[in-house]
Amino acid sequence: MTEQRGNWSSNAGFILAATGSAIGLGNLWKFPFITWNNNGGAFVLVYLVCIVAVGLPIMMAELLIGRKTQKSAVGALKEAVGPLWGLVGGWGVLCGFILLSYYTVIAGWSLFYFSKTIGWSFSGFPAGLDSGALFGEQVSNAGLQLGLSLGFSCATISIVYFGVQRGIERIARVSLPILFVILLLLLFSALGMSGSGEALAFIFRPDFAKLEPSSILEALGHSFFTLSLGMGAMITYGSYIDRNHSIVKASAVIVLLDTVIALVATVIMFSVIFSVPGMEDQVGSSTVGMLFISLPELFYSEVPFGNILGPLFYVLVAVAALTSTISLLEVVASYIIDEHGVERHKATLMCGGAVFVFTILAALSFSDVPILSTMHIFGDGDNAKIGWFSTADHFVSNWMLPTGGFAITVAAGWFMTREATEGELVDHTAPAWFKYGVWRFFIRFVAPIAVGSIIIAVIFFGVDFS
């Protein structure tokens, strides 16, 4: 490697970038939806336990492996654990590649709804417009889908192109504060709506009678997805941290922010939904339903200042998705940069281009393209994953992230020495509340058992996390 490796310019910059990776469609699109499907309350509580007991320790493990070796996923695991572990890193790179390819398509939808809501804010929401039909038309319009995802891919590529400080960190510094402000505005507006009380009760009042065993596994699976764990993204971001900052503190802040944002987004969406009689029955039939079918219309009929908040909301979704797509591309590009000595600009263009080929497949999955719209490998009946897009999402969420996460916990807990991990976590920067022994217990026992149970659930009981 000829050039000096990138580094974050400051701790705040790193934390914003990593938080940006974590906060994404998982928070705004998946979490509210699965909370809805799993009857709120008790599910949310279980999710919070998973975040603290599994997500937080693994976040620390990934960041420490990255910082220790100053290498991205493949090189880091090879150096920290052993040559064969490069395969686990490679699995992560592949996972990032596939995830990015279809994530970009959903991100593209936020651009579509942004432009729609801008129009509606000026001309009014068209009377009698069928939002479900509008959604169906846009996803099945092949040209539109290709255009939207190409636009989003170019944005992602052009940021990663400029590297860690001048690209990723700079965008995160601007985007994250904007995201927090928009979300806060939406929250104030939502709390004033008539359905907010019911929404809060639904989300925060646990009723364990409504909790199904599969919900526990779903909560665990989602905690990986939402924190960007299990595929080396945090190893890669960790590799750009210097030694003067505490990984423990950074992990706590990232995990806390991600969780708060997911909860706030859910409060906002449910407040809107509960304010409209009959709306409860309409949402929930599909994952995309809430974000792209129910909400757009409600901004114009229910939400105070919806004319302004509607477009802002879709900017929020796009920005949140962008700070996640850049981290996904960074995982793939940094592998080529670190392991194959390719220069960053070239590596970014190559990887971005290669991923886009697969984005095309995902973007066309809702048009009448044979195989892409009809392939069926996973699931049966109501749960069948039909088409390339759903197949890829299912494979990543149910197989790749849990298996990658399992390997990483085992690596950090059982294959790395106590000195190696303790040296990274416990130093003059470590906060007083941190107890290394507790972390070690969680990473050796609690996390692998929990994650192992997801994998077993998926294999033997066909549980679905996507």
Q: Which residues bind ligand TRP (CB under 6 A)?
A: 21-22, 24-27, 99, 225-226, 228, 231, 233, 324, 327-328
**For ligand TRP, which is the closer residue by CB, 306 or 402?**
402
Name the residue among 220, 232, 251, 150 with its Cα closest to residue 456: 220
Residue 386's φ and ψ, nearest 5 degrees, are -100, 130
Can you name the residues that pair with 376 across neighbouring β-strands? Answer: 386
Shortest CB 332 distance to ligand TRP, Å: 10
> How far apart, in whole angstroms, are the C-alpha atoms of residue 346 and residue 357?
17
Least distance (Å) between residue 318 CB and ligand TRP:
13
CB of 321 to ligand TRP, least distance (A): 7
Contact 410, 448 (CB under 8 A): yes
Distance CA 320, CA 30 (A): 13
Minimum gap (Å) between residue 110 Cβ and ligand TRP: 12
Nearer to ligand TRP, 120 or 225 (CB): 225
> Of the candidates 433, 424, 398, 367, which has an alpha carbon nearest to the alpha carbon of residue 141?
367
Give least dist CB 381 to ligand TRP, A: 27
Q: State residue 103 phi and psi, 5-degree precision.
A: -60, -40
Smallest distance from the beta carbon of 226 to ligand TRP, in angstroms? 4
What is the rounded CA–CA span in Å between residue 433 and residue 248?
10
8 Å CB contact between 329 and 339 = no
Between 231 and 255, CB nearer to ligand TRP: 231
Give the DSSP per-residue string, 309-369: HHHHHHHHHHHHHHHHHHHHHHHHHHHHHHHH---HHHHHHHHHHHHHHHHHHHHTTTTT-
Shortest Cβ 126–ligand TRP spacing (Å): 31
C-alpha span between 151 and 161 (Å, rounded): 15
- Name the CA radius of gyration of the chain, rounded: 21
Listed in sequence order, the residues at least 6 apart from 263 whose beta carbon sits closer than 8 Å to its beta carbon are 44, 203
Compute the distance between CA of residue 217 and CA of residue 458 in angstroms, rounded to an integer: 9
Return d(Cα 310, Cα 182) in angstroms, integer: 11
User: How far apart are CB 19 and ligand TRP at their closest, in Å?
Assistant: 10
Least Å distance, CB 184 to ligand TRP, is 19
**Cβ closest to ligand TRP, residue 114 vs residue 274:** 114
**Closest separation between CB of residue 127 and ligand TRP, Å?**
35
Nearer to ligand TRP, 99 or 318 (CB): 99
State in angstroms the smallest separation of the CB of 63 from ligand TRP.
13
Which residue, 24 or 306, is less far from ligand TRP as judged by CB?
A: 24
259 vs 324, beta carbon nearer ligand TRP: 324
For residue 250, give the amino acid letter.
A
What lies within 8 Å, CB to CB, of 325 at 6+ separation is: 100, 103, 104, 107, 152, 156
Report the residue number, 27 or 334, with the smaller CB distance to ligand TRP: 27
Residue with structure tokens 């009981």?
461
Helices (H) and strands (E) in the chain, counts: 24, 0
Question: Which amino acid type is present at position 350?
Answer: M
- Closer CB to ligand TRP, 226 or 275, in the complex: 226
- In the chain, the amino acid numbered 289 is G
> Smaller CB distance to ligand TRP: residue 354 or 420?
354
* Nearest residue to 32 (alpha-carbon basis) of 253, 230, 256, 294: 294
- State which residue, 298 or 328, has the beta carbon closest to ligand TRP: 328
Q: Please say whether the beta carbons of 209 and 41 come within 8 A.
A: no
The least distance separating ligand TRP from the CB of residue 232, rounded to whole angstroms, comes to 8
Distance between CA 383 and CA 387 in Å, rounded?
A: 13
Taken as a whole, the chain contains a residue count of 466
Is the Cβ of residue 121 or residue 259 nearer to ligand TRP in the bound state? 259
